[in-house]
Amino acid sequence: MAKEWILNSAMNRFQLNFKRNVGAVSEEIRKCSPKSSEEWKEYYYSKVRSKEHIDELGQKLYIKITEVVASEVECITEEDCINYIHNMVINRTFDGYMTEIKTIYGQLQKELDDLDVKIEPAPDEWDRLYNVDFFIEVNGKYIGLQIKPMSNVSHIPEIYKEKKIQGKTHIKFTKKYGGNVYYIYSIKDGNKKRIYNVDIINEIRNEIIKLKN
């Protein structure tokens, strides 16, 4: 298993399995419609790439692993590994989280632009005491916003449970600052994030209009 992982990782890294090297295998096997692997092998070596060409790719892979990868591995220290793990769980996770929040924040701000309000980051104290990430000021009163990233829809029950636990802090916020606190759920859509509970936008709009009047 370890050997296969090394071979697969190196092959992908050095692009030896790319179309330019091995041909359009998915298209070619459909053309061939083989009944056995032997039939496919005969077709591939005669119509797509020669056996000698594949041998050469294998030799390149061996050189990459034994020369390039091995040399790189020798340069890695224990400190490199420790720093890498710390960076992954702290810095990269935080950067990804902030990027996601800014993306959702931007989407919501655009939806509210016609109401002439500004979404602003909440003070640290509000985060600790009221579980509020952002706020909107309207006539000296404040609406609280909390952005909750979801990995997928199955994550919703867990978030609702958390929402119930944090409900008391949100009630305190409303009593003190006059506006409600709203949960905004973000979910991945391809390579981007989008607001999952889009109906919340109208609720926030109505709250802004109410506080303005």
- Number of structural domains in the chain: 2
Q: What is the mean pLDDT of residues 157-162?
A: 65
Which of 75, 106, 124 represents a domain boundary (last residue)?
75
Average pLDDT over residues 141-147: 93
Q: Give the mean pLDDT of the chain.
A: 88
- At residue 192, the pLDDT reads 76
57: which DSSP letter?
H
Q: What is the pLDDT of residues 74-97, one digit of tens each?
A: 889 999 999 989 998 998 888 877
The first and second tokens of residue 15, run together, are: 């692009």
The answer to whether residue 99 sits within a structural domain is yes
pLDDT at 1: 62
What value does the mean pLDDT take over residues 15-44?
93
Q: Are residues 107 and 195 in the same domain?
A: yes
Report the distance separating Cα 153 and Cα 184, nearest Å: 14
The answer to whether residues 166 and 174 touch, using CB atoms and an 8 Å cutoff, is no
Q: Are residues 103 and 199 in the same domain?
A: yes
Is 166's pLDDT higher than 90?
no
Please give the model's pTM, rounded to 2 decimal places.
Answer: 0.55
- For 98, counting Cβ atoms within 10 Å of its Cβ (0-12 exposed, 13-18 middle, 19+ buried), the class is exposed
Cα 181 to Cα 128: distance, rounded to the nearest angstrom: 14
Q: Are residues 55 and 110 in the same domain?
A: no
SS3 199: helix
Q: The domain spanning residue 121 has which CATH number?
A: 3.40.960
- The Cα 121–Cα 133 span in angstroms is 6
pLDDT score of 181 more than 80: yes
What is the rounded CA–CA span in Å between residue 121 and residue 75?
Answer: 43
Query: Over 80: is that where the pLDDT of 113 sits?
Result: yes
pLDDT band at 48 (very low <50, low <70, confident <90, very high): very high
Are 154 and 115 in the same domain?
Answer: yes
Please report the pLDDT score of residue 152 as a whole number.
Answer: 64
Range of 180's domain? 91-212
Do 194 and 107 form a contact (C-beta atoms < 8 A)?
A: yes
58, pLDDT greater than 90: yes
